Structure 1
Amino acid sequence: MNSKAKLYLIPVPLADIEHSQCLPEYNKAVILTLKYFIVENVRSARRFLKAVDRTIDIDSLNFVELNKHSNPKLITSYLDPMKEGHSIGIISEAGCPAVADPGSDVVAIAQRKGFEVCPLIGPSSILLALMGSGFNGQGFSFNGYLPIQDSDRSKTLKDLEAKALRGQTQIFIETPYRNDKLLQELIKQCKSSTLLCIASNLTAPDCLIQTKTLSQWAKNLPNLHKRPTIFLLGQYS
């Protein structure tokens, strides 16, 4: 194993904005040294790399996809170039790789094999939402996607609310086209006085990040359909 080979976790902007607004110049310098990439989607990864530097010769790069359609038996082979001393970059659709993202699978393999893992600085919708919520930033839990079954979902929402009312901020997400339904379920299942922060389209010009009681949200429902959104239940810190 070549000790110089590294696995770089490369953040991607959350919205269609200038990279200089959310990514350090160092990231570009690293990207320009790489020829191998593990990506969630090849098309969007190529578009991202071209935005980083228009002179990049995309056709000279090597891509493999890591997503829900990937064969788990082949993932280990994605790191084979590192055995020859080639560093690899991981790119997800948006935000930071390996956080609520399939990239964690290949990072785990790299850790087990003793490869050096280098997360680069970039935007995390989860942390940006927590920062802007006004909730407890020392005790919090990211719960990912909630159960799909109604009974399990209802119980989970009540459990998250109870934890939030005890002071631990609860963070969760939904598939964008189901955001509006989740908001309606929160209003129905939880106490009207419970605080909910909605952080939607973060870093975009039409970004929404606002904390209200559920009764206040019920009076003026935002349109969250197909907008990447983070939901947080908590108490003001």
Structure 2
Amino acid sequence: MATGSGILYIVATPLGNLGDMTPRAVAVLREVDLIAAEDTRHSTPLLRHFAIATPITSLHEHNEAQRAATLLDRVEAGQSLALISDAGTPLLSDPGFLLVREARSRGLRVSPVPGPSALVAALSVAGLPVERFVFEGFLPARSGPRRTRLEALAGEARTLAFYESPHRIRETLADMAAVLGGEREAVLARELTKIHETVRGGSLAELVELLERDPDQRRGEFVILVHGAPERAGEDERDGELVRQLAVLLGELPLKQAVQLAVKLTGRRRNEVYRLAMRLSEGD
């Protein structure tokens, strides 16, 4: 820990309902020397509402690499800095990673001020298994790369969690239905804590149909939760053959070459073969 330095606070702010602002968050934002915000235009009304007069500066994805060092120089000199995003907890699909990583590499104190998170809020009300989950943030904007990423997740047994914006929500759900299967159970959480909050569950196909039928359901910010793939109790006959082939190939070839050859021999998906090869190579 750098002696004589200030503190970098990571402060969660409301998703929409101002009643979710914690007293500690208000106190910290009033006491620090500077607030770094993803969008100062968005955050200024929030600060004004809580009578927070602390100076504010911008820190977003386009300037974080250039500004992080300068801001941390101030913390190193003894000032305290608070990082906030437009809504919720910073760094979760929001700027701040470079700032926090550099702060920790300098030995500076980084302190969380917990509060709202769209991810956690959605998981808490979805009715899907949440003891294990995978947070993917935003999927690629274009359908091709998006489907490729979804194919890599198709066999994932844990609940899948995504963020999505209104102008891509319909296409993203359609791609999920096509790749993961229209029957896969999912939950669409929209505008959490806001006036038009909705949490809709059903199959992916049903949620696609909902958005087609009701354009209002395409508005706002979204969390998509998808039930994981069913875990099989054991390998079926087809998988057993793949296991036997991989065992032989891995005994003679490097993992990458063994996977490539197994894909050619079996016609199975590369990501599926790769996951199994990894398990075998690790002795699972």
TM-score by length of 1: 0.86
The number of residue pairs the alignment matches comes to 226
In the superposition, relative to structure 1, how do residues 3 and 176 fare at CA in structure 2: closer, same or farther (>3 Å)? farther
In the superposition, relative to structure 1, how do residues 218 and 178 fare at CA in structure 2: closer, same or farther (>3 Å)? closer
Q: Distance in 2 between matches of 1:215 and 1:180?
A: 11
SS of structure 1 residue aligned to 2:57: strand
2:144 pairs with 1:154: no
| Partner of residue 174, structure 1 | 164
List aligned pairs for 1:91-102, cutoff 5 A.
91-102=84-95
Q: Distance in 2 between matches of 1:224 and 1:161?
A: 26
List aligned pairs for 1:110-125, cutoff 5 A.
110-125=103-118
* CA distances 1:153-172 after superposition (whole Å, capped 9, x unpaired): 22322333321xx3x01111
Equivalent in 60, 67, 73 of residue 74 of structure 1: 67
List aligned pairs for 1:129-168, cutoff 5 A.
129-163=122-156, 166=157, 168=158
Q: Distance in 2 between matches of 1:32 and 1:197?
A: 38
Share of identical aligned residues, percent?
24
2:195 pairs with 1:197: no
- Whichever residue aligns with residue 174 of structure 2, its letter is Q
Larger Rg: 2
- Whichever residue aligns with residue 36 of structure 1, its letter is L
| Partner of residue 27, structure 1 | 25
CA shift, 1:202, in A, is: 0.5
RMSD between superposed Cα atoms in Å = 2.2
SS of structure 1 residue aligned to 2:31: coil
In the superposition, relative to structure 1, how do residues 215 and 43 fare at CA in structure 2: closer, same or farther (>3 Å)? closer
In the superposition, relative to structure 1, how do residues 99 and 3 fare at CA in structure 2: closer, same or farther (>3 Å)? farther
| Partner of residue 42, structure 1 | 40
Unmatched 5+ stretches in structure 1: none
TM-score by length of 2: 0.72
- Whichever residue aligns with residue 6 of structure 1, its letter is I
CA shift, 1:43, in A, is: 1.6
2:3 pairs with 1:10: no
Unmatched 5+ stretches in structure 2: 231-284
Q: Distance in 2 between matches of 1:230 and 1:68?
A: 21
* Bigger proportion of residues as helix: 2
Q: Distance in 2 between matches of 1:133 and 1:173?
A: 14
CA shift, 1:3, in A, is: 4.1
